[in-house]
Amino acid sequence: MSSNTLVAILCSLLGGLAGALITLLSSYLIAKIKIKQEAKLWENEFAVNYSKLLVTDPEAAKLLARQFAVGLIIIKDSDKETISKHFIPYQCKTSIGRHDDNDIILTDPHVSRDHCIIYQRNGNMLIQELSPKNGTYVNSARINKTHILESGDIIQVGGIELNFESLT
């Protein structure tokens, strides 16, 4: 066999391998993009359906929130006894304040109408202060706008203590 024939065979093999590798890589990237799109669609559908369920069937919404919860807020009284528990659903914001349209309603006069919200972003649980007038505290330190929550953090809203537990 001549050296030209060997070079031709080798080039042919390398070309075939390169083509197969490109096909495999492009298939992988397309699958990864489709999975990301499906996950985003599911997240959006979950948030929309949860919001609708909150209006039509609040008890079913609570069950759904519990199944897909990323966090838990435990409200305690002055004797450190648990008053109530509120699950933070996946891809949803949980609002805290004095007004009736909040997810967690606190009647303390030092709590603002719309005091703060808790939500998940980029794998972190965040608390965002909406009304700086009355202040929001995490582990006795006043937060400035937004703060990353850790499991076990104690949130102070007005005169009420909230315990945060991560469920992820």
Chain centroid to Cα 50, Å, comes to: 14
The pTM score is 0.65
Confidence of residue 141 (pLDDT cuts 50, 70, 90): very high
Q: Which residue has the tokens 């929001």?
A: 136
pLDDT above 70: residue 40 = no
Residue 68 CB neighbour total at 10 angstroms: 16
pLDDT, one tens digit per residue, over 77-90 is 778 888 888 888 88
- Region 44-48: mean pLDDT is 66
**Secondary structure of residue 89 in the 3-state scheme:** strand
Give residues with Cβ within 8 angstroms of 38, minimum separation 6.
none
pLDDT, one tens digit per residue, over 51-81 is 777 778 878 777 777 677 888 899 987 788 8
pLDDT above 70: residue 42 = no
Q: Which residue has the tokens 């997240």?
A: 43
pLDDT above 60: residue 91 = yes
Q: Tell me which of 125 and 76 has the higher pLDDT.
A: 125
Angstrom CA distances, 50 to 44, 61, 87, 94, stand at 10, 6, 13, 12
pLDDT, one tens digit per residue, over 100-115 is 999 999 999 999 999 9
pLDDT at 104: 93
Task: Tell how strand 94-97 and strand 104-105 pair up.
Answer: parallel
pLDDT above 80: residue 36 = no
**Secondary structure of residue 127 in the 3-state scheme:** strand
Give the residue from 84, 35, 42, 91 showing the smallest Cα distance to 68: 91
